[in-house]
Amino acid sequence: MSEPTRRRAVPEPLRRRALDVYQRLRALALDLYRASGGRPDGAETFELPITIELGRAGMREASARHGETMLRDLVRKTEDLAASLLAFRPGRAYCFFCQSSSCAHSEPPTAMSVLAGYVPTGRPRWLDFPSLALESRDPRVDAVFSERPEVIALFRSHDALLAEMLPDFRESDTVYDLLGEAVIGPLPLADDASGRMGEAAVTIQVVRCLGHDGEPELRLNAIGRVPDGGDLRGFLEVGGDDALARALAIADHELDSLNRRLRGTRRAGKPEIDPAEPVDVLLRRLARRIEQIYRQRGRRTHHAQFRNEEGVRPTRKALDDARTARPHHVYMDERGGTFVILGPKGRVHVFSPAGRHVTSLSATGEEIQSRIDRRRWRAATSTEVASFKSAISPSNGR
């Protein structure tokens, strides 16, 4: 067997030229990204294939041809990345008509509104939950209208949600691919304005769009309003319903595991896995979990409920780990707006900004590093750490 060829050291002038070429290409990509509406935050990356022909014959024509191909690829990459990152906005549905998740059509008008699908021109079609239950002919619809309504879940597939939309308005389907959703209601939630219990419904979607690294990523999106008209996400972040927030956090963790599996398959060059089936399983498992939460609440006292939740979840170490956590073990979840505490032995605890415990999970070092690398978690600032420590101090009674 022959000796492996040793690579020559690259002369410094050539190294400087290579760096200059890269910096010029990066500047071009940044200008194209901004022109597409992107707001660079330093986390966006993507790979760009480049063909270089070394032969002298027809060099000018080949350079022009390969240069145009590179530019087309660069424009497509920056446009897709900008559109995808702008399309996903937690707590809002995507409007294919406006190509935005920030327009007036993208938020539910009332606490009982759920996403029933899209009208032909691509605007979200909001419907109150009981009406959708009737329209879906669900056999449990009587329970929704009973004196003591039962919480039920309805499922909508990608095809069912987009069935009425005209082809001309489905171009953004590649940017914001809605794989399916579960709509759940009526949820008894506290109305801060009146102090009484009110009713709400939630639309929980799984969406496929591009992540900051330019690779497809699945994301969980919970959309809804609470009875006083506020945003459901904000309500959960301040501890409005810890059990519901916990159920969503567990599903988000499961979705991260599925994302790692899909990425591993792509990078290994294996056939692409169709995420439709595992997404359907995840949504149904989450829906059953939420149905069970509210079913059990109807059967036990507040004291018994509290005792049960504390008994079945590994939460006893959460507060101890949080109070003793060093600043470099405190992170912010960019998607959920929650604090993430890295405890000993792979324990990970999630807290709301108000210091309420949301959930506890076990994670490997690789899983933790993956979320940090993908900018899902970022190190908390000293001000954020101080605010969190104050929120969970014994003087606050937590």
Q: Which residue has the higher pLDDT, 237 or 157?
A: 157
Q: Specify the pLDDT at position 58.
A: 67
Average pLDDT value for the chain = 83
Q: pLDDT tens, 332-378?
A: 987 767 889 998 888 888 888 888 777 777 777 877 887 887 777 88
**Residue 68: both structure tokens together:** 């145009």
What lies within 8 Å, CB to CB, of 317 at 6+ separation is 343, 347, 349, 360
Average pLDDT over residues 180-208: 84
**Residue 30: both structure tokens together:** 């940044």
**CB 288: neighbour CB atoms within 10 A?**
14
Q: Specify the pLDDT at position 88.
A: 82
Q: Specify the pLDDT at position 303.
A: 39
Q: Which residue has the higher pLDDT, 373 or 196?
A: 373
Give residue 42's pLDDT band: very low, low, confident or very high (50, 70, 90): low
Q: Provide DSSP, 261-281.
A: HHHHHHHTTPPPPPTHHHHHH
Q: Which residue has the higher pLDDT, 314 or 21?
A: 21
**Range in 98-102, 189-193, 231-235 the model is least confident about:** 189-193
Helix spans in the chain (H): 12-35, 59-87, 129-136, 141-144, 158-162, 232-237, 242-267, 276-297, 302-312, 318-324, 365-373, 382-391
Q: pLDDT tens, 153-176?
A: 999 999 999 999 998 887 666 678
Mark residue 92 as left, alpha or beta (left: phi above 0; alpha: psi -120 to 50; beta: remaining).
beta
Q: pLDDT tens, 378-388?
A: 899 998 999 99
Q: Specify the pLDDT at position 125.
A: 95
Whether residue 191 has pLDDT greater than 70: no
Average pLDDT over residues 286-305: 72
Write the single-letter amino acid at 386: A
Could you give the count of Cα atoms lying within 13 Å of 220 in the half-sphere of its Cβ? 27
Q: pLDDT tens, 90-130?
A: 899 999 998 888 889 999 999 999 999 999 999 999 999 98
Whether residue 247 has pLDDT greater than 70: yes
Q: Specify the pLDDT at position 246.
A: 87
Q: The pTM is what?
A: 0.66
User: Using an 8 Å Cβ cutoff, are 244 and 76 in contact?
Assistant: no
